[in-house]
Structure 1
Amino acid sequence: MRKLTEAEQNKIKLLTKNQVSLTLIEPTETGLKKSIMDATGPVRSFLKSENIHDYDLQKQGPDYKVVIPTIIHTGFKTKKSKASLYRPLTKNGDPRIWFYSLTEVTEANDIIAITYFDDNFQVFNLTKLDIETLINSSIQNPFQDLVRAINTTENEVAFELLTLLRKIAGAGPVPSMVDADTSVGRTLETALGIDINSSKKPDYKGIELKSFRNSRTNRKNLFAQVPDWKLSKFKSSAEILNAFGYDRQDDFKLYCTVSAITRNSQGLNLRIDSDIKQLIENSDKSEVGDFVVWTLDKLHSRLREKHKETFWVEAESTRINNREHFQYKLVEHTRKPITSQFDLLIDQGIITLDHLIKRNSKGRVVEKGPLFKIKPKGIELLFPPSESYSLI
């Protein structure tokens, strides 16, 4: 796809601000004449991530063509259409997409935006459509209605959760559930009626909750993810523990932080190999060297899954009658992490990894991680501009 103009980039920024997720495609002159376009990698990824269509599961040939209703936006009017998604029998079944009547609203090398709402593709010519005027128009129009409907739908759960948090905060300091570092999060989730479990899914109707004490500048948890054991020299957390663990009271454990900018006291560090798209953990022991790996694709997937939408809840900690209490005060609301920044922030030591492995007196090995954590200053680098809400 060609480089976007500054005007096209500004239109995308405005749509992103209004919670409109989209993908882009550039019809060629040949494609318009033949009524055919390649479903490029970004288009395929968008359709798959939004659970619209997965070309990887689609068989080749006309019998397996998928047709999806489509609305083409032309400004103050719309045109009903349909999209065909298919893989031809020729050319290795390269994925194709076409929107009927597209030639009526576009010329070669215009940028076409594709979003999905109300069981329809919603398609418009990003190059030619005056996005800002339509959204802000005093005259109601279909495009304005679409953006407002998407914005309302995207924010519905967030506003619901924000109302609940303000109700909890308004009742005053909440007694801690347990005497532990994790109590600030566990206490809030209990107050919200959320079951405490180890699920990898977001906490509240698709929104992840991350709570922290405002008196601390500790790193914040992003997600937990074990290495790809099939690609790693070591095949289990027990092997990592055996190689680098130490005795503490009744346990044999490895509790440590691993960074890409320095080796820790166990001689461990991280390294990104962009050529093979892997994050590698290395030991300075010559007989060990590189011992576990994560594929960057998997880490990016976990980041998108866990933090598609997140409430970072700040609490003030006080002690009342010798028991910790939490006054929840502020929320930072982030959406859609920039996965390409994840790799950079690891390289810069802003995102690090924590091992939390131990073997107890009964010989059982327990792994609470590995946890990927981010320094507070990294939040604004990993996510697009966020919204902040006061709870009291």
Structure 2
Amino acid sequence: MLEKSDTSIAETLAVFTRYDLDVGLLVPTETGMRKSIMDATAGLREYFQYTGFHDYDMQAQGPDAKVIREAFFVRPDGLQPTTASLYRPVTKSGDPRVWFGRLKGYAEPYNLLAVLVRDDKAYIVNCSDPRILASIHDPSTPLGAIAASQRPTRDPVVEELLDMIRDVSSRGFVRTLRPGDTGVGMTLETLLGINANTRKAPDYKGIELKAKRLRKGKANRVTLFSQAPDWKLSPIGSAWNLLSTYGYERDGKLRLNHEMNATAPNSIGFFLEVDAAHDWLKQNYQDPDTAATRHVTTWEMEKLRNRLKEKHPQTFWVSARCRGKGASEEFHYVQVEHTRQPKVRNFDALLEGGVISVDYLMSQKGHQRVRDHGYLFKMHSADFPAPFPPSETHVLA
């Protein structure tokens, strides 16, 4: 239900991530508010388990197993005591539920609620109220006091790699060592003496390197990582079946180059869905004539979360000015944005909110063979504050 939020998920998560705070998110519906019931989303359940606040997996079904915990509604200038009711009904396979007493006096349907656990108590923050969310910046407020207690750390390897990139930048424009889109990254790694990385681990002593071209008037998305679908869990069965079923012919061969997200079907009817019940990310197809949908491919969400965590313990996003084309293209590496360990718990919400999207880049290679350039999970760098704690920008030239 996060996609129904009346408030930007990315901007809200950016506020909490700025202070290195983990939260769980909820969006109450009109029906839920009327019945005093909310589904405990997968992200919230995992957050409760991680903080030790509650473990739904260990909870029996039925009213006798209901758990009541201490909680507070956060106001701009104080805390309002309430309770958190955590239970699994006998019906509907015991789907986890949560409710906060007197919520109807604190929030409206489709408000975005953040739940923050501290000292075994739950603090509910109505992020749709700008006064409440803004109080995080004032240490004299309850929310601000929690935020002020967080302190970021820094890895000493950072200065070592920064000095190496500064040396490359001091050379000014350098000719690409590989024509095409990947030249900007391959050239930088070669000049730094880093071998091409075909593994899924970071590039340099735990730091991932990502290079991109600076282009006027364009806000290109950047790739977080690449991960193929789990074909055994995917109804389509294989990359060739996907390409041959949904691809289009160009220059004598089938191609499938499309961006998709969870907010709406794209031009060929592809869209993403976070299936919390199975902990899957599904790519679905919606028929343009009948609006009927069918499940096409599948990723396991836990594998995707781990990919994000493994790929970006620390990342240098290096920007380069460019001139020329093809084999004559040249780069001047002028800026580094340094991000630290992402808030992996925000990943599901960012997918649901359409902030993180997926690209298919596929083409036919011979008889029933597929050439792909990865199944790319991307986002705009302007949205980095949502998954990444505060970054540091280093201007090199």
TM over 0.5: yes
Match of 2:267 among 265, 268, 272: 265
Task: Report deviation, 1:321.
Answer: 11
Equivalence for 1:217: 219
Kept in 2: contact 1:352–1:373 (CA 8 A)? yes
For the residues of structure 1 that align with 2:302 and 2:171, how far apart are their CA atoms?
43
For the residues of structure 2 that align with 1:288 and 1:238, how far apart are their CA atoms?
21
Unaligned stretches of 5+ residues in structure 1: 1-11, 18-39, 45-108, 112-146
Match of 1:282 among 267, 284, 289: 284
The answer to whether 1:42 aligns with 2:50 is yes
The answer to whether 1:160 aligns with 2:160 is yes
Q: 1:245 to 1:200 in 2, by over 3 A?
A: same
SS of the counterpart of 1:264? coil
Task: Report deviation, 1:228.
Answer: 2.1
Q: 1:169 to 1:297 in 2, by over 3 A?
A: same
Residue deviations 1:163-215 (CA, integer Å, cap 9, x gap): 10000001111111222122111111111122224221111111111111121
Larger radius of gyration: 1
Kept in 2: contact 1:177–1:187 (CA 8 A)? yes
Equivalence for 2:317: 312
Match of 1:342 among 328, 347, 354: 347
SS of the counterpart of 1:261? coil
Match of 1:386 among 376, 380, 391: 391
Residue deviations 1:292-327 (CA, integer Å, cap 9, x gap): 111221111100000111001111112399822111
Query: Where in structure 2 are the equivalents of 1:20-99 lying within 5 Å?
Result: 42=50
Equivalence for 2:191: 191
For the residues of structure 1 that align with 2:310 and 2:341, how far apart are their CA atoms?
9
SS of the counterpart of 2:329? strand
Task: Report deviation, 1:368.
Answer: 2.0
For the residues of structure 2 that align with 1:179 and 1:13, how far apart are their CA atoms?
37
For the residues of structure 2 that align with 1:14 and 1:240, how far apart are their CA atoms?
40
Equivalence for 2:174: 174
Q: 1:360 to 1:167 in 2, by over 3 A?
A: same
Task: Report deviation, 1:217.
Answer: 1.2
Task: Report deviation, 1:13.
Answer: 9.8
SS of the counterpart of 1:227? coil
Task: Report deviation, 1:363.
Answer: 4.5
Match of 1:298 among 296, 303, 308: 303
Match of 2:248 among 224, 246, 257: 246
Q: 1:16 to 1:352 in 2, by over 3 A?
A: closer
Q: Which of structures 1 and 2 has the larger relative contact order (alpha carbons within 8 angstroms, sep 6+)?
A: 2
Q: 1:267 to 1:222 in 2, by over 3 A?
A: same
Kept in 1: contact 2:17–2:388 (CA 8 A)? no
For the residues of structure 1 that align with 2:18 and 2:351, how far apart are their CA atoms?
30
For the residues of structure 2 that align with 1:272 and 1:282, how far apart are their CA atoms?
11
Range moving further from structure 2, 193-202 or 240-249: 193-202
Q: 1:366 to 1:320 in 2, by over 3 A?
A: closer
Q: 1:173 to 1:283 in 2, by over 3 A?
A: same
Match of 2:338 among 314, 322, 333: 333
Kept in 2: contact 1:245–1:254 (CA 8 A)? yes
SS of the counterpart of 1:381? coil
For the residues of structure 1 that align with 2:314 and 2:327, how far apart are their CA atoms?
36
Kept in 1: contact 2:240–2:368 (CA 8 A)? no
SS of the counterpart of 1:155? coil
Task: Report deviation, 1:339.
Answer: 1.5
| TM score, norm. by length of structure 2 | 0.59
What is the letter of the counterpart of residue 255 of structure 2?
Answer: K
Kept in 1: contact 2:202–2:208 (CA 8 A)? yes
Aligned residues: 263
Residue deviations 1:312-355 (CA, integer Å, cap 9, x gap): 11111123998221111111110111122222222222211011
Kept in 2: contact 1:345–1:378 (CA 8 A)? no
Residue deviations 1:79-121 (CA, integer Å, cap 9, x gap): xxxxxxxxxxxxxxxxxxxxxxxxxxxxxx978xxxxxxxxxx
SS of the counterpart of 1:368? strand
Q: 1:202 to 1:329 in 2, by over 3 A?
A: same
RMSD value, Cα: 3.5
What is the letter of the counterpart of residue 256 of structure 1?
Answer: H
What is the letter of the counterpart of residue 235 of structure 1?
Answer: G
For the residues of structure 2 that align with 1:314 and 1:362, how far apart are their CA atoms?
39
Task: Report deviation, 1:224.
Answer: 0.6
Kept in 2: contact 1:250–1:360 (CA 8 A)? no
